A and B are shown apart, each in its own frame.
Chain A
Amino acid sequence: MIRIGRRLPLVSTIALAASCLGTALPAHAGASAVIGHVYNNVFTPLSGDASGALSVLVSFIPPEGRHALTMGCWEMRVIDKWGTHTTTGSPIPGDTVIVPGGMGRVYPWLSQSGPNGSVTIELDGSATTGGKGGSSVTPFTVSCSTTAKNIIVSDVTNDSCLFPWGLMAFTPASPTQTLTVEFQDSPDPRVQVTDKGDVHLRLLHLGPNGLGSLAWSADYTNIDLGQTLELSLPVTDGTTGPVVYAPQACAQQVDQDAHQWYSTRVHVRGLSTERVEVTGTRTMSLNVTHTNVLSDAAPPSGVWVSVFSSSPLGSIVDGDLSTAAGEQTDLLTDVGPLTASGTYWLAVGGSDGHGSVSKYAGNVEHKIAPAMVSFTIPSATCIAGDDYGGGPYAFAQARAQSQYESLGCIAPPSGSPSLGCLYSARYEYGQGWRGGYQDRPSKAHTLEVLFDDSVVTFNGHGGPMTIQNRENDYVSVADVEAYATAEGDSAARFVLLQCCGAGQLLLPALRAAGVDCVVGHKMSTYPTDPGWPRLMAKMCMEAKTAQVAFWETYWATPEWQMSGATIDGDTQLWGVPL
Chain B
Amino acid sequence: MNGWVAVALAAFIGLGTTAELCAAQSGKEQAARAAIEAVRRAGGAAVRVTASDRSERGYWVTVDDRWRVGLASPSGAAVLVVDCGFSKSPHAAHKLASQPTPDEIEQAGREVVARVFPDFDMSEFRRSVAEIRPRSARVEVCWRQVIRENGFLGGGRCSTVFCWPDRAVESIEATGPAIPDSWRRPTTVTAEEAKSVALPQLRVREGEWVETVKDFCGWEQAARKSPSWNVTVKSGPEDRPLECMSLRSVFVDPWTGEIIHTAQWEGAGPAGAEALPSAIGGQLRPGRPGSPAALPTAQPLTAGQAERSAHGRWLLAAGAGILVLALAAAMVCARRRRA
Contact = CB atoms under 8 A, between A and B. Distances in A.
B244 interface: yes
B245 A526 contact: no
Contacts of B60: 552, 555-556
B51 to A, nearest CB: 11
Contact of A464 (B242, B276, B289): B242
A402 interface: yes
A186 B302 CA distance: 101
Interface in B210-256: 218-220, 232, 236, 242-247, 249
Contacts of B289: 394
B315 interface: no
A463 B263 contact: no
A532 B219 CA distance: 17
B219 A527 contact: no
B271 A394 contact: yes
Contacts of B171: 551
A524 interface: yes
Nearest to B235: A388
Contacts of A465: 242-243
A387 B270 contact: yes
B195 interface: no
Contact of A528 (B88, B135, B218, B276): B276
B264 interface: yes
A140 B246 CA distance: 109
B279 A526 contact: no
B287 A398 contact: yes
A559 B244 CA distance: 22
A524 B246 contact: yes
Contacts of A466: 236, 243, 245
B265 A524 contact: yes
Contacts of B270: 387-388
B211 to A, nearest CB: 12
A568 interface: yes
B280 A406 contact: yes
Interface residues of B, number: 54
Interface stretch (A50-58, A150-158, A255-263, A497-505): A497-505
Most buried by A among B82, B129, B245: B245
A461 B278 contact: no
B266 A525 contact: yes
Interface string B251-291: 00000000000011111111110101111100011111101
Interface string A290-322: 000000000000000000000000000000000
Interface in B29-59: 55, 57
A530 interface: yes
B87 interface: yes
B242 A547 contact: no
Contact of B243 (A392, A406, A463, A514): A463
Given A463-B246, A532-B279, A559 B269 contact: no
A551 B278 contact: no
A537 B278 CA distance: 9
A394 B274 CA distance: 10
A231 interface: no
A522 B274 CA distance: 24
B243 A476 contact: yes
Interface string A481-518: 00000000000000000111100110011011010000
Contact of B268 (A461, A514, A534): A461
Nearest to B286: A394
A401 B278 CA distance: 10
A528 B274 contact: yes
B163 interface: no
B219 A461 contact: no
Contacts of B133: 508, 511, 568
Contact of A388 (B80, B242, B247): B247
A551 to B, nearest CB: 5
Contacts of A461: 245, 265-268
Contacts of A522: 129
B279 A536 contact: yes
B81 to A, nearest CB: 10
A508 B236 CA distance: 21
A125 interface: no
A399 interface: yes
Contacts of A398: 276, 284-287
A397 B266 contact: no
A403 B279 contact: yes
A570 interface: yes
Given A463-B246, A501-B246, A570-B87, A526 B55 contact: no
B22 interface: no
B134 interface: yes
Nearest to B236: A463
A387 B266 contact: no
A552 B68 contact: yes
A395 B84 contact: no
A463 B242 contact: yes
B69 to A, nearest CB: 10
Most buried by B among A397, A530, A551: A551
B265 A526 contact: yes
Contacts of B263: 524, 526
B267 A388 contact: yes
B157 interface: yes
Interface string A388-417: 100011111111011101100000000000
Contacts of B220: 558-559
A304 to B, nearest CB: 36
Contacts of A509: 134
B154 interface: no
B265 A525 contact: yes
Contacts of A499: 266-267
A159 interface: no
A215 interface: no
Interface of B: 55, 57, 60, 68, 70, 80, 82, 84, 86-88, 129, 131, 133-135, 157, 171, 218-220, 232, 236, 242-247, 249, 263-272, 274, 276-280, 284-289, 291, 294
11 contacts: A388-B269, A397-B288, A500-B245, A500-B266, A527-B264, A527-B267, A527-B272, A530-B277, A547-B82, A547-B86, A570-B87
Given A468-B245, A561-B218, 18 more contacts: A387-B270, A387-B271, A388-B268, A393-B267, A461-B266, A465-B243, A466-B236, A498-B266, A499-B267, A501-B245, A526-B266, A527-B294, A528-B276, A535-B279, A551-B80, A556-B60, A558-B220, A562-B219
The 3 closest A-B pairs by CB, nearest first: A461-B267, A394-B286, A536-B279
